[in-house]
Amino acid sequence: MNIREMLFWGLDWVKGSPVRNKMRIIQEKKRKGYDNQEEVLSLTSYVRKNVPYYRGIKSDSLKDFPVVSKEVMKQAYDLFRSDEYADETKLLTVHTSGSSGTPFKAYQTHEKNDYHKASMILKNKEIGWEVGDRWAHLRNWGFGAPASKMRCFKQNMVPLSILDLDDQKMEHIVQTLLKDTALKIVLSYSSGMERLAEYIVRKNYIGEDFGIKLIIADSDNLKTEVWDLLEKIFKCPVLNRYASIENDIIAITKPGDRTFYIDTTQFYVEVLKMDKDVSVEEGEMGRVVITDFYNKAMPFVRYANGDLAVAKKIVNGQCVEFATLEGRAISSLRKTDGTLLSETNIMGRFKEFVEINRYQIIQTGTKDYTMRLEGVTTNIDEKCETEMKKIFGVDAKITVEYVDQIKCGANGKFKVTISEI
Backbone angles phi, psi at 72, to 5 degrees: -65, -45
Q: Which long-range contacts (CB under 8 A, 24 or more apart) does 355-361 make?
A: 355/380, 356/380, 357/198, 358/198, 358/406, 358/414, 359/406, 359/416, 360/406, 360/415, 360/416, 360/417, 360/418, 361/333, 361/388, 361/416, 361/417, 361/418
**Residue 143 pLDDT:** 52
Rounded Cα–Cα distance for residues 175 and 420 (Å): 39
User: In the predicted model, what is the mean pLDDT of residues 373-401?
Assistant: 91
Rounded Cα distance between 96 and 80, Å, is: 17
Non-local CB neighbours of 89 within 8 Å, separated by 6+ positions = none
Residue that wins the pLDDT comparison between 381 and 414: 381
What is the mean pLDDT of the segment spanning 10-26? 94
Q: What confidence category does residue 4 fall into, taking pLDDT thresholds of 50, 70 and 90? A: confident
Separation between Cα atoms, residue 199 and residue 203, nearest integer Å: 6
Structural domains of the chain, with CATH: 3-114+259-328 (3.40.50.12780), 128-236 (3.40.50.980), 332-419 (3.30.300)
Q: What is the mean pLDDT of residues 328-341?
A: 79
At 284 the pLDDT is: 93
Q: Which whole number is the average pLDDT over 154-169?
A: 85
Q: Answer yes or no: is pLDDT of 309 > 80.
A: yes
Confidence of residue 348 (pLDDT cuts 50, 70, 90): low
pLDDT at 343 over 80: no
The whole-chain average pLDDT of the chain stands at: 88
The alpha carbon of 251 is separated from its chain's Cα centroid by a whole number of angstroms, namely 9
Q: In a 3-state reduction of DSSP, which class is residue 122? A: helix
pLDDT band at 107 (very low <50, low <70, confident <90, very high): very high
Say which amino acid occupies 280: V
Nearest to 123 by CA among 6, 250, 38: 250
DSSP track, 319-348? EEEEEEEEEEGGG--B-TTS-B--HHHHHG
Bridge partners, residue 216, by sequence: 187, 239
pLDDT at 268: 97
